[in-house]
Amino acid sequence: MFTCAPALFAAGSSGPATDPFFANVRSLIHFDGSDASTVITDQIANTWTAIGNAQLDTANKLFGASSLLLDGSGDYVTGTPSGGFLIGTGDFTGEIAIYPNSLTTDHEVFSVSNGINNVDLLWEIDGTNGSVRFSLRNLTLGTTNFDFNSPPGAVSTGSWQQIAISVHGSTAYIYVNGIMVASSAVASVRTNVFNVCQLGTLITGAPRYFNGWLDEFRWTTGVDRYAGANYTPAVAPFPNS
């Protein structure tokens, strides 16, 4: 029997209420703007840069005016959010909507590196079977805090899917369209990760460029919004306050 985390929407409304965890939000990007724009606006006032042909696209989006279009060849968005993503020592939640155009290779959704001792967090789609992978590793030390996949077929091409990852205490979770689809134990000694962040490719190692559209990205530190429970997917853009 599934349980659901509370939805953050006002009763009787299709729009979101204010976010009770907004003070913990480190990045919130709606990817809204004019067609072909390369301006990426973060509601937390972080600076992001579009690389390659990465651009906003009004033809396909989950919410709002547009989404981020990535063609799978050298396209991504990079930034260093204020305060960094300090994710190794407490709970956190990452959320994004994806519309894969192709799944012939592995597609990176989001990756973070501390730029010091080769520690990385990655969140990607396995191109061989459509599973979602979530991993936190120290490549220099050869240690892994967690590295696991959802069941095959969790995501597919040709439609919008809302995916999320989180860590709650000693457990990491993967969610697809509000359903918790996989979990894994987290090593007791966790490695912090911060500084450089990229949407649409892998920072460490050979690039794995995402081919398709991204929308509604939100990263929250210090809070696991769902704690392993199923929840109601967003029906409107995430709140800005």
Q: Name the residue range of residue 71's domain.
A: 28-231
Q: What is the DSSP letter of 88?
A: S
CA distance 67 to 171: 31
Q: Is residue 83 part of a domain?
A: yes
Question: Number of structural domains, the chain?
Answer: 1
Question: According to the model, what pLDDT value does residue 193 have?
Answer: 64
Distances (CA, A) of 31 to 65, 96, 133: 8, 11, 24
Element (DSSP H or E) covering residue 108: strand 107-113
- CATH number at 220 reads 2.60.120.200
Q: Is residue 131 part of a domain?
A: yes
Element (DSSP H or E) covering residue 168: strand 161-168
CA distance 27 to 36: 22
Question: According to the model, what pLDDT value does residue 37 have?
Answer: 98
Token readout for 51 is 């690389």
Which mean pLDDT values do the consecutive 10-residue runs of the chain (241 residues) have? 37 62 93 98 91 97 97 91 62 94 86 66 87 84 86 95 94 97 85 75 78 95 94 96 93
CA distance 112 to 131: 20
pTM for the structure as a whole: 0.89
Question: According to the model, what pLDDT value does residue 224 have?
Answer: 94
